[in-house]
Structure 1
Amino acid sequence: MSPLDYGTRWTEQRGKRPVRIANCSGYKADPGYHMRYQAELGDVDFITGDYLAEVNIAENAEAHAKGQHPGWEETAWDGIRQTVELLSEKRIRVIVNGGAHNPKGLAEKIQQLVTEKGLNLKVAYVLGDNLINEMKDIRKNGLPPHLDSENSEVKYDTHTLDLFEKSDKPIVSANVYLGAREILKGLQEGADIIIAGRVADASPVIGAAWFWHSWKDTDYDELAGGLIAGHLIECSGYVTGSNFAGFYEYPLDDLFDMVYGIAEVESDGSCVITKHDAKKGFVTADTVKCQFLYELQGNVYLNSDVKAILDDVQVKQEGKDRVRVWGIKGRPPPPTTKLAIFYRAGYQSEIIVNATGYGTSAKFDLYERMIRFGLQRLNILDKFDILEFQRIGVPEPNPRSQLRSTTYLRIFAEASDAKINLGLASLLGEFAMQHYSGFHLSSNQGAAIPRPYLSYYPAIWPQSKLQTSINILDSAKSENATHTTCIPTTPPPKFEDLTKRESYETANPVDLNSFGPTTKARLGDIVLARSGDKGGNANIGFFIPTALPSSYKPLPSAPNSSPLYLESWDWLRSLLTIPMLQTMFAESWDPAFYIERVEFPHIYAVHFVVYGVLGRGVSGSSRLDSFAKGMGDWLRDCVVDVPVRFLEGRGLGEKSDVARL
């Protein structure tokens, strides 16, 4: 665009074409240059950034209260600092949640920068997500309902209610997930840069599309489409090739130093996911499906402004790095929104001991028995909240090196009193010379020293009780002061109570013997997946990939891939039942877990939510993979009976153990 075109963007172009929204961050670690890339490498209307994982705000809340931390994310500030002149030149508006615990402070710092540079940019910030004052006396006022309280099938982790039942668990942060209403109002008031705290990850994109297309707050289909567009680009490069299950079909050098995603949102809420031509990365139907399936909780995606109904989602490649997404329907939002409460839960310790080769299982049996004996003698064996002896890895048969023969025992402990954890650590010295043959430690055992940790309680909170606002900053006469106009905002005009989440096995399953001869193969040889966390729950979505590998050779009996593709879907939906998933979990299955299952037939995907598998979730989980990021690839490595012709259709023949290492 020419400078004149940039100037007419908001007068002549708004609402007459798709809005082009680029994302620059999915976590606080994303460097500021990603915001600059999105501004300088091509034309966009908005840049959004999601800087918050669930624990971010809590990690710095106490330090901020003591004046030892600014409360906002440094990378969000760095992005603005690097990009602010381009924002002014190109008239790009920015919406980020990098304000974290202190959006006001970050907004004022940006306003100072804007004033110093003499730029014509209006800065605003969102308030209303921080409920720490309301949560200070929960033992008197009551604990808000758990996020899964309406699901009677779900069993809570043993220590879920510790923050309510025990007096030594102080709450350090409590933030609700706001929607896009405050963002919309800020844009209507002319804000160029909006800094928010804990708005939902997709809310910046919803707000941008809502404003651009002048949707009504009851245009639920359109808002739901904006929600899913935001979901697709919110996670850094996850839609442009990062964290992609089929990465091994691409040159490895294409899988880093990539540019992040862009959503072109149409007036009807459908979108095209794309990227700038410059720099690396790629957008395919499969990268989009992977990200779509990430961190879902079934077939309904919730936001404070709208419920997105996902059953009929469709995804289609339209060209190089251009994938269209449509079929999302909307309903009124629920009367509640998510409330993330973090509290000081106690102390964690972690000890790792290695074993090599012969007799490894017996070695770990010995070490666990010895440690339990020592803890019993110290009279603290039953004092831990969690004490687990986790065996990580299996030594390679006939190993080609010592590294291939070495695995480790991870001793993970949580307790309310640091002295309990110190007792565990003391046994490293007491039994230093009593151990199995070949015993050795990893070089860094600092994690054995107890460290305080935060735990997570996911709750719900009535939207009607929120006091939210958008706050517009104006330059003041004083060099170090600003004038603020506070504009209160209101809840959505209509709510719809949540119903029980759908869960079902496939309709009209196909006899698995009808697909012809089978061979033992890994599920991942023909199926892609994506998994993630929602508090103490994990989600896993499996789907038949659209893209064929470079080794693909059409079968004479199937000159085009479509019939085989559809047959593969019939096989997948018939194979992946709830009992089958339990079987695949094998030793990791616990009867306390609960599974929900749905299907997305137009993208050939089966989706599961496994409740309780992550314990309390986030920083309080004892799992090595506490965010369930690797769960999908673990389950793809499970061996099942696969029709031979499906493997041949993927160019694998009967060879299932394809080298991916």
Structure 2
Amino acid sequence: MVSALQHRRPRDERGTRPVRIANCSGGQMEPGWQMRKQASLGPVDFITGDWLAENNLAQEQAAIEAGTGEGFKINAWQALQQSMDVIAEKGIKVIIDGGGLNPQAMAVRCQELIDKHNYDLTVAFVSGDNIVGQVKNTLKEQGSLPTTFQDINNNAHKDLNLTADEVLACNAYIGARGILKGLENGADLIICGRVADASPVIGAAWWWYGWSDTDYDRLAGAFLAGHLIECSAYVSGSNFSGFHRFPLERFIDSGFPIAEVEQDGTCTITKHPGTNGMVTEETVKCQFLYEIQGNMYLNSDVKALLDNVKVEQVGEDRVRFSGIVGRPPPPTTKLAIYYKGGFESQNLSNAAGYATRKKYVLYEKQIRARMAEQGLSDAFTVLDFQVVGSPRPNPSFQLEATTYFRIFAQASTPGPLAALKLLLADETMQHFSGLHWSQDLRTADPKSFYVYYPCIVSQDEIEEAVHILGPGGKITKSIQCTRPPAYEAIEQRDSYDTANPVPLESFGSTVSMPLGNIALGRSGDKGSNINCGLFVDRPEIWEWFRSFLTLEKMKDLIGKDWKDEYRLERVEFPNIFAVHFVIYGILGRGVSSSTLLDNRGKGFTDYIRAKHVEIPEKFLPWTWKEDE
């Protein structure tokens, strides 16, 4: 067996070969042992980890106020605890965003571990993203958000009337400059707060090759390499819409990805040999299309133009990704404001089989009548009655016929929600035929929730710095970061149907089947918006696919979920046979304050793929079925 010491990465290899950057986390619940696996299973130069999502920082601030948290993500700290010995032995550098609201506290914890075991490691933390004081002061002085911040959320917060006390956290999505300065000053472990998801990968590659901050094509390539691996196994088998085409055992404990970034910014996505999952053109395309912003993707250090993206299988579990063009970054970056939204609850009841639709109509009428009697009709900021599922005709067992009724409610205080729960209890014996509940009724109790409010802030207002620690956790050096040397204004996003569509009738006779039989894809959230990317795998199908999947066709496929208040954008990526959409406003206020069951839009693409469409019979040899 090869020892860990034999895998130690020589420092003098920097810049002479592709840098190997492994990712160990894509969300706050990712376990610490994934970092140790990435460090132990093969040679890597860097390990990155992304433990933050849109609502995490609000949760951390609430935990601080309750005296139950220190501001950083506990799973990120556990990852470092479990991996520090291997990291030190092999000379791996680590860059993570798990510092949350208090990256300094996590860095000090790391230094304590370093001191205890005498590891040859230098730790640093990045500051500057947390501007809650600035936002609160502006609210106190002006009674509104600063005028330099712009609502980009399709008027989802148009009635917002915040006070400073309601604000929990305000964090700007900063770039890789603090990371770069930390590496230049000898840091081995860099703890960040709310850096942009791809910034750790950008910083690692930037330092490895010594790029300038105007090497836009290279920076943009590293930006997309970071985008591909920052969601952990999403690029190596997890969340893969084509999973049903392979043995299901292939996707149990999928290996996490590695990006081999080259001098010109192109990359090869791979994983450690012997791990489960897969890295294929299809898994990479799915992750590329996930949560992008159309054909123009923004970061604090570079703007990436995606129109000419290329994806090519170059070996088993090895996919080369290229074609990204870089431009100067925008003068602004995203600012995430989190505020207390009040309280919410959901009451769930089930129905089985016969006359289900009328059962739920009756139940809603009964509840609304009781609410009117008790003066609760106008007590809620949100009250939504939702039917989840449809009973299968002629079912063979009861669960095939079972659906559930979801009453989703929000209010500024817990009182109306508690009253709603009691009201439903009063109706226990006056319900429709066959009503039954799950055993766990805790979702009916009021619980606090937080609202995510995306804005933008001028990059020049951010005071980013990196701080190097020494023994005892004392700061030995602080380095202020410069801003980008040039900015480029954000232009109007492209949105278009195919320039020269081919008449659909020219493809011959058709057969009705699910769109998913011929197309894969992925979707996700950007605040109140859903992005949805769909692609086919053969050039023979592309001209039909791009001509078929128009803006109007997507509205038709969305069906009864479409509202005229929404806005739709469409672009194409012809090299990978993909069409990408952004549906603005469909998630309401988004994340935890969305009323939707799929409040992050993760299931949206598979909903679209389930729609039956007319597919040319000539393509049948290349289609798949759901059960294959």
What is the TM-score normalised by the length of structure 1?
Answer: 0.92
Change (3 A) 1:16 1:168: closer
104-113 or 79-88: which moved more? Answer: 79-88
Q: Does 1:418 align with 2:426?
A: no
Shift of residue 7, structure 1, vs aligned partner:
6.4
For 1:70 and 1:246, the matched residues in 2 are separated by 41
For 2:210 and 2:126, the matched residues in 1 are separated by 20
Q: Does 1:572 align with 2:557?
A: no
Match of 1:548 in 2: none
Q: What is the identity, as a one-letter code, of the residue corresponding to 2:572?
A: E
Q: What is the identity, as a one-letter code, of the residue corresponding to 1:355?
A: A
8 Å contact kept, 2:9–2:92: no
- Residues 425-480 of structure 1: CA distance to partner in whole angstroms, max 9, x if unpaired? 1211221111111111122121111111101110101110111110000114xxxx
Q: Does 1:9 align with 2:1?
A: no
Q: Does 1:382 align with 2:378?
A: yes
Shift of residue 6, structure 1, vs aligned partner:
6.2
Change (3 A) 1:166 1:136: closer
For 2:543 and 2:7, the matched residues in 1 are separated by 50
Q: Does 1:226 align with 2:194?
A: no
1:73-152 to 2 correspondences below 5 Å: 73-137=73-137, 138-141=139-142, 142-144=144-146, 149=151
Match of 1:642 in 2: 615
Change (3 A) 1:26 1:3: closer
- Residues 626-661 of structure 1: CA distance to partner in whole angstroms, max 9, x if unpaired? 0000000000000000011212233x5xxxx6436x
Q: Does 1:312 align with 2:308?
A: yes
Shift of residue 491, structure 1, vs aligned partner:
1.2
Q: What is the identity, as a one-letter code, of the residue corresponding to 1:531?
A: S
8 Å contact kept, 1:517–1:644: yes
CA RMSD of aligned residues (A): 1.7
8 Å contact kept, 1:37–1:259: no
297-306 or 416-425: which moved more? Answer: 416-425
8 Å contact kept, 2:348–2:437: yes
Match of 2:262 in 1: 266
Shift of residue 144, structure 1, vs aligned partner:
4.1
For 1:483 and 1:97, the matched residues in 2 are separated by 19
8 Å contact kept, 2:290–2:524: yes
Please, which of 171, 180, 202 is the counterpart of residue 167 of structure 2? Answer: 171
Q: Does 1:19 align with 2:19?
A: yes
Shift of residue 68, structure 1, vs aligned partner:
2.4
Please, which of 471, 476, 487 is the counterpart of residue 484 of structure 1? Answer: 476
For 2:164 and 2:214, the matched residues in 1 are separated by 45
What is the TM-score normalised by the length of structure 2?
Answer: 0.97
Q: What is the identity, as a one-letter code, of the residue corresponding to 1:503?
A: S
For 2:212 and 2:464, the matched residues in 1 are separated by 19
- SS for the counterpart of 2:440 is coil
Match of 1:469 in 2: 465
Match of 2:572 in 1: 599
Q: Does 1:630 align with 2:608?
A: no
**Unpaired segments ≥5 residues, structure 1:** 546-564
1:213-362 to 2 correspondences below 5 Å: 213-362=209-358
- Residues 100-155 of structure 1: CA distance to partner in whole angstroms, max 9, x if unpaired? 111000100011101111111000000111111112142533314698747xxx74
Q: What is the identity, as a one-letter code, of the residue corresponding to 2:506?
A: S
8 Å contact kept, 1:144–1:461: no
8 Å contact kept, 1:473–1:482: yes
8 Å contact kept, 2:8–2:43: no
Q: What is the identity, as a one-letter code, of the residue corresponding to 1:180?
A: A
8 Å contact kept, 1:147–1:338: no
For 2:566 and 2:73, the matched residues in 1 are separated by 36
Change (3 A) 1:168 1:3: closer
For 1:248 and 1:147, the matched residues in 2 are separated by 45
Shift of residue 383, structure 1, vs aligned partner:
2.6
Shift of residue 92, structure 1, vs aligned partner:
0.7
8 Å contact kept, 1:233–1:239: yes
The alignment of Structure 1 onto Structure 2 pairs a total of residues equal to 625
Match of 1:561 in 2: none
8 Å contact kept, 2:140–2:164: no
Change (3 A) 1:400 1:168: farther
For 1:302 and 1:378, the matched residues in 2 are separated by 50
Shift of residue 174, structure 1, vs aligned partner:
0.7
Q: What is the identity, as a one-letter code, of the residue corresponding to 2:35?
A: M
